[in-house]
Amino acid sequence: MKERLGRVEHSGRGTEANRGECREAAAAAALTFRGLGLRSAPAALPGLPGDRATSRSDLHRGSLERVRRAMDGADLAGKILSTWLTLVLGLILLPSAFGVSLGISEIYMKILVKTLEWATIRIEKGTPKESVLKNSASVGIIQRDESPMEKGLSGLRGRDFELSDVFYFSKKGLEAIVEDEVTQRFSSEELVSWNLLTRTNINFQYISLRLTMVWVLGVLVRYCVLLPLRVTLAFIGISLLVIGTTLVGQLPDSSLKNWLSELVHLTCCRICVRSLSGTIHYHNKQYRPQKGGICVANHTSPIDVLILTTDGCYAMVGQVHGGLMGIIQRAMVKACPHVWFERSEMKDRHLVTKRLKEHIADKKKLPILIFPEGTCINNTSVMMFKKGSFEIGGTIHPVAIKYNPQFGDAFWNSSKYNMVSYLLRMMTSWAIVCDVWYMPPMTREEGEDAVQFANRVKSAIAVQGGLTELPWDGGLKRGKVKDTFKEEQQKNYSKMIVGNGSLNSESD
């Protein structure tokens, strides 16, 4: 090709007409070159004058063929895309609109469970001595000495200070450095056995060729088959939500509007859950939160919201965000009254409480969904419930959510991953499997203050979900611990070495 062009350029020796033709041909050549993405200029090569005519027609024929081939390619791509979309529509979207399941995801889950069981057996066979490592993931590095201060200092009340007292504090301190209850809750749970995802492969070594092959196959399936499907679904789900709620928002307030808005919400949430291959088991549906109540749940990730709203509609509470989240929030509030706060308003506790009180006073409004922990915890424990939601009054409907980490880690480590990379990780896991337990409603009892009530609800949720209960504040993820805890320890120690009577009395 280059030779032909070279010849064309060189033949400018001739007449005006020739030169014109050459310019035309050169222009065509330049266009085709750009079309083919080639940047190199045609090399000037000496050529025979007789080739001029044939070279021009060859050039035209070549470019026509290329265009035809490109059109065929586009046609094919269009056909693939349309069959793909019809499949998606038929098999996934329509059933979700009616709340029906075709059983495809159940088959997928069965195959997945069988594969993971096989993988676990192979790993167990392959690591005889090191199987102790596997157990240690759930047991811990050390066995902590939980004896209280009195026993640890080996004394009765009123004993004197001894130089050996420092042993107790240093041992406690070193134990906390090696393993503490709090910081481990802000990172993903370690798995007992590998689930064939690269990201969870911390302590597990190469076992066998077959296992590696299955892992490679898994990577291909997850990234090339599941990921595009899921991204398509998520895209469709979110657009439908925004469009649907905006349309419904145009209607005047009526029961039709409420029914339609519920339909739109439920359908789009079901589509979004399918986009994560979510398998959710709801237990005790008779206790599902009713209108005019407050629904309270433990928080692991933003997906919690999706999981709960697939089974019922809630009014959400939260800060107004920018970007995509902001668009979704603004659209949703048109169709049904959610409670979104500006960032400045969030600081004013009284304003927040007032607005929430107004919301639940209206018995026709949907139950409010609140996560009292205030931040995402890694689903192995429940941390302190902030008392604000429990001061509003009204009936509390507790809900416990427990994810199965074997199929995919749902925890959002917001300091490590931003929202987009988190969603990508979600969409390239095997599936999201979780259990949701609705619990009987609770109200504040006589003589119980908000903090005690919050702790009571927290214990109930922890017991139901099989999670550890911790008194620590989830805010420790980012903030420092309050000095009052240290002062409490100092006070206890002081009581021990001088007895109660001679302590400095603190003004109350």
Partner 1 sequence: MGSRSTLLRDEELEEIKKETGFSHSQITRLYSRFTSLDKGENGTLSREDFQRIPELAINPLGDRIINAFFPEGEDQVNFRGFMRTLAHFRPIEDNEKSKDVNGPEPLNSRSNKLHFAFRLYDLDKDDKISRDELLQVLRMMVGVNISDEQLGSIADRTIQEADQDGDSAISFTEFVKVLEKVDVEQKMSIRFLH
The binding site for partner 1 (CB under 8 A) comprises 130, 132-133, 136, 139-143, 145, 160-184, 187, 198-199, 202-203, 413, 416-417, 472, 476, 480-481, 485-487, 489-491, 493-495, 497-498, 502-504, 506
Q: Which C-beta is closer to partner 1: that of 186 or that of 314?
A: 186
**Burial of 308 per CB tally in 10 Å (0-12, 13-18, 19+):** buried
Minimum distance from residue 471 beta carbon to partner 1 (Å): 11
Q: Which C-beta is closer to partner 1: that of 28 or that of 192?
A: 192
Residue with tokens 């979600």: 426
Euclidean distance between CA atoms 263 and 135, whole angstroms: 47
Minimum distance from residue 409 beta carbon to partner 1 (Å): 12
Minimum distance from residue 330 beta carbon to partner 1 (Å): 33
CA distance readout (Å), 228 to 84, 153, 231: 11, 61, 5
The sheet with strand 294-297 has its strands ordered as 278-283, 432-438, 396-403, 294-297, 368-370, 315-319, 339-341
Closest CA to 426 of 402, 410, 413: 410
Q: Which C-beta is closer to partner 1: that of 341 or that of 472?
A: 472
Q: Which C-beta is closer to partner 1: that of 131 or that of 459?
A: 131
Cβ atoms of 503 and 495 closer than 8 Å:
yes
Cβ atoms of 188 and 378 closer than 8 Å:
yes
Q: Which C-beta is closer to partner 1: that of 84 or that of 161?
A: 161
DSSP string, 361-397: HSTTSPPEEE-TT-S---SSEE-PPPGGGGSS-S-EE
Q: Which C-beta is closer to partner 1: that of 140 or that of 466?
A: 140
Q: Which C-beta is closer to partner 1: that of 43 or that of 202?
A: 202
Q: Which C-beta is closer to partner 1: that of 63 or that of 127?
A: 127
Q: What is the dihedral of CA 423, 428, 431, 437, to 10 degrees?
A: -20
Minimum distance from residue 205 beta carbon to partner 1 (Å): 11
Q: Which C-beta is closer to partner 1: that of 40 or that of 505?
A: 505
Tell which phi-psi region holds residue 185, choosing left (phi > 0), alpha (psi between -120 and 50) or beta: alpha
Closest CA to 265 of 208, 331, 199: 331
Q: Which residues of 431-450 are buried (b: 16+ CB within 10 A; e: fewer)?
A: bbbbbbbbbebbebeeeeeb
Minimum distance from residue 425 beta carbon to partner 1 (Å): 8
Minimum distance from residue 473 beta carbon to partner 1 (Å): 9
What's the farthest any 2 CA atoms get from each other in the chain? 120
Minimum distance from residue 124 beta carbon to partner 1 (Å): 17
Minimum distance from residue 478 beta carbon to partner 1 (Å): 10
Euclidean distance between CA atoms 126 and 323, whole angstroms: 49
DSSP 3-state assignment of 52?
helix
In one-letter notation, the amino acid at residue 44 is A
Cβ atoms of 66 and 32 closer than 8 Å:
yes
Q: Which C-beta is closer to partner 1: that of 125 or that of 486?
A: 486
